[in-house]
Amino acid sequence: MSTIKLDQPHQMIERLINNIEKVLIGKKHVIELSVVALLAKGHVLLEDVPGVGKTLLVRSLARSIGGDFKRLQFTPDLLPTDVTGVSIFNQKTMEFEFRPGPIFANVILADEINRTSPKTQSALLEAMEEHSVTVDGMTYELAKPFFVMATQNPLEYEGTFPLPEAQLDRFLLQLRLGYPTLEEEMAILTRFGAENPIANLEPVLTSEEVYALQQQVATINVSEGIKEYIVRLCKKTREHPNVYLGVSPRGALALFRAAQALAFVRGRDFVIPDDVKELAPVTFLHRIILKPEARLEGASVERMVTGVLAETRVPIS
């Protein structure tokens, strides 16, 4: 992909966020964090009840960056080849030809990922980690940028297959949209009353520009003090008496990259402690498993993470 010179990247990001807000009302912070994940070359897990706008967020983001968009509706009978693609024998050429699956796009909506079998889940999550797909011994590179937003219903719903811990760890952030306020819901009725505003949503960036922005994020400065702060936070989750499984080194790297992207989105070329504190909950919550006895006593991951943040010394720089 050719190198693109970017002028005023912060303004480009603002245009992207504002464009998505034309469709998704009252969710600027969630939109901003989704853009953070995109620029950090990560992926997002959206867990919430049906009907709050999860699919709308993904479609709006895809339209706004002008990239290829594919939707995968996960069902119990979906096969791994329905995700990655399959080799078909061509009788004319007497050779096998690879027919790419929907995973070959810039933005993927993996809808209700916890309604399909673990084998099919693994096909998607392997592609997320490797940014490539291997079929019949041949490896195929995925698009750049490549961004997955997976939605799942809360696990107490029937007919769900919970994602294993190792697969949850592949998601950079876990976000929730939540219900709108009274004023926001009234605005939704007004905005969507005549037609869906996403139908007229125009791209404000190209996929090439997004890829170039991703390359710039990696240059954001992170001081040694901030790095130590990230590691100390992760270490405290592993040592907490209520925790069965704490944040892995991959989780520490996720927080590091997300903090770089958040600083970049906010128009800075360096990370500050507040970036880490803001991102720690959405980076940690899906990576921590409490001990059964702690859950029975009413402990929660949210309160534990809040406590860890309060107890950990914040660096000066």
CB 58 within 8 A of CB 94: no
| Residue 317, in any domain of the structure | no
Q: Are residues 198 and 225 in the same domain?
A: no
Domain finish residue from 171, 196, 215: 215
Q: Are residues 239 and 168 in the same domain?
A: no
Q: Are residues 34 and 147 in the same domain?
A: yes
What is the structure's pLDDT at 2?
41
Distance CA 14, CA 98 (A): 39
What is the structure's pLDDT at 317?
61
Please, where are the H alpha helices in the chain?
A: 9-21, 28-39, 54-65, 80-84, 118-130, 165-168, 182-191, 207-217, 224-239, 249-265, 273-284, 292-296, 301-311
What is the structure's pLDDT at 205?
93
SS3 197: helix
Tokens read off for 70? 């594919």
| Residue 3, in any domain of the structure | no
Q: Are residues 130 and 196 in the same domain?
A: yes
Q: Are residues 112 and 154 in the same domain?
A: yes
Q: Are residues 240 and 284 in the same domain?
A: yes
What is the domain-level CATH number for residue 110?
Answer: 3.40.50.300
Digit-by-digit pLDDT tens for the chain (317 residues) are 444 556 688 899 999 999 999 999 889 999 999 999 999 999 999 888 778 888 889 889 999 998 888 999 888 888 888 999 888 888 888 888 888 889 999 999 998 888 888 888 888 888 888 888 888 778 889 988 999 999 887 655 555 667 777 778 889 999 998 888 999 899 888 888 778 888 888 999 998 999 999 999 999 999 999 999 999 999 999 999 999 999 999 999 999 999 999 999 999 999 999 999 999 999 999 999 999 998 888 888 999 999 999 999 998 76
Amino acid occupying residue 180:
P
What is the domain-level CATH number for residue 251?
Answer: 1.10.8.80
Please, where are the H alpha helices in 131-248?
A: 165-168, 182-191, 207-217, 224-239
Find where tokens 């006895």 sit: 293
Q: Are residues 118 and 160 in the same domain?
A: yes
Domain finish residue from 215, 239, 274: 215
Which among 126, 151, 123 is positioned nearest to 55, based on CA atoms?
151
Q: Are residues 283 and 225 in the same domain?
A: yes
Q: Are residues 116 and 77 in the same domain?
A: yes
Burial string for 95-118 (b: 16+ CB within 10 Å, else e) reads eeeeeebbbbbbbbbbbbbbbbbe
Domain that holds residue 46: 9-215
| Residue 1, in any domain of the structure | no
For the chain, how many structural domains are there in total?
2
| Residue 187, in any domain of the structure | yes
Tokens read off for 279? 């991102």
Q: Are residues 261 and 289 in the same domain?
A: yes
| Residue 307, in any domain of the structure | yes
Task: Output the pTM of the full model.
Answer: 0.90
Q: Are residues 43 and 184 in the same domain?
A: yes
Domain finish residue from 215, 240, 270: 215
| Residue 157, in any domain of the structure | yes
Q: Are residues 42 and 68 in the same domain?
A: yes
| Residue 316, in any domain of the structure | no
Rounded to 10 degrees, what is the CA torsion of 302, 309, 17, 107?
Answer: -60
